[in-house]
Structure 1
Amino acid sequence: MDQRSSPGQVPSWVPASGHALRHVGVHFDAVRVIGSAGDEVAYELMQFTDFRAGPIVRSGVGDRSTYFLLPPQSAAAYRWPIGARLIGRDLQCEAFVGIPALGGRTWPLDWRSRPTAEAPFVEAKLLHEVAVALLAG
């Protein structure tokens, strides 16, 4: 699987190097799943999409959260199960998510799945179905 993107395919919210905070609700909505449950949801989503799930960011510190990046204003249409937390402007608060560059040193953040021209965002409905199946049981 080749996860590299050409410069024309890189979304404007992905930094050129290192990592940067991006405003949730402007660039994307985000759903956070903490710990190993985030890895499980990401794995199932990637399996289902033939490893073309769209942008999924993993943090390597603290609670080791996994962030699923959805199209702006799309996540509030779903009732997320316990264990999956919506982060977005629909909650009427300012929120930011760390976004790593596509290459180089980005620790403590890394891509579990990168954005591509074909999958610039994680599909909200599919993520919701996978999250409910794995977290609501």
Structure 2
Amino acid sequence: MTNERLPDWVPANGLQLRLAGIHFDAIRVRGVRGEAVLHHLADATDGRPGPVVREVAGGRWTYFLIPPGSSKEHTWPPGARCFGPCARDQYVGIPAAHGNTYPLSWRCGPPVEGEFVDPGLLHAVVTAQLCRPPEE
């Protein structure tokens, strides 16, 4: 782990639900499409796309954490669900930086204070990925 400070909304251990729209907004994409979005974001950002939470069970969701309030700046395509000011009382599971956090994990390492996925870049990549057939 680096000397950079974790955001206060990252739990010390395990995982916790956090109300979206307060510390971050989140865009959720399912399965292989979420992984494809992450792959393209990582390529565009030299491997540091920002905080991304992955669920390894169930729907295998990928949650892209963007600055609070920024989700309403874009119209998200079907297949990308917005968690933030565009909806009420939505929670996102947030894993600790280390330890047992199953079924959630940080896909590109835990975030540092003030770090988020770029909402404009995310919107462009999500729109491109969700408007074409999935690669299998």
> 5+ residue gaps in structure 1?
none
CA distance in 2, matches of 1:132, 1:42: 13
Structure 2 length as normaliser, TM-score? 0.91
Runs of at least 4 residues off by over 6 Å: none
Query: By how many angstroms is 1:116 displaced?
Result: 2.9
Aligned residue number for residue 98 of structure 1: 93
Aligned length: 131
Aligned residue number for residue 130 of structure 1: 125
> 5+ residue gaps in structure 2?
none
Query: By how many angstroms is 1:47 displaced?
Result: 1.2
Aligned residue number for residue 16 of structure 1: 12
* 1:5 to 2:2 alignment: yes
CA distance in 2, matches of 1:133, 1:95: 26
Deviations 1:52-79 (CA, angstroms, capped at 9, x unpaired): 1110000112111000000000011101
RMSD of aligned alpha carbons: 1.3
Task: Tell me which amino acid in the other structure corresponds to 2:58.
Answer: G
CA distance in 2, matches of 1:26, 1:53: 21
Classify the secondary structure of the residue corresponding to 1:133.
helix
CA distance in 1, matches of 2:129, 2:90: 26
Classify the secondary structure of the residue corresponding to 1:132.
helix
Classify the secondary structure of the residue corresponding to 2:102.
coil
Aligned residue number for residue 63 of structure 2: 67
CA distance in 1, matches of 2:62, 2:25: 13
Query: By how many angstroms is 1:89 displaced?
Result: 2.5
CA distance in 1, matches of 2:33, 2:74: 19
Classify the secondary structure of the residue corresponding to 1:30.
strand
Structure 1 length as normaliser, TM-score? 0.90
CA distance in 2, matches of 1:57, 1:79: 22
Percent of residue pairs bearing the same amino acid type: 47
Aligned residue number for residue 109 of structure 1: 104
Deviations 1:56-115 (CA, angstroms, capped at 9, x unpaired): 000112111000000000011101112111111222x10110011111111100111231
Aligned residue number for residue 121 of structure 1: 116
* 1:40 to 2:36 alignment: yes
Classify the secondary structure of the residue corresponding to 1:86.
strand
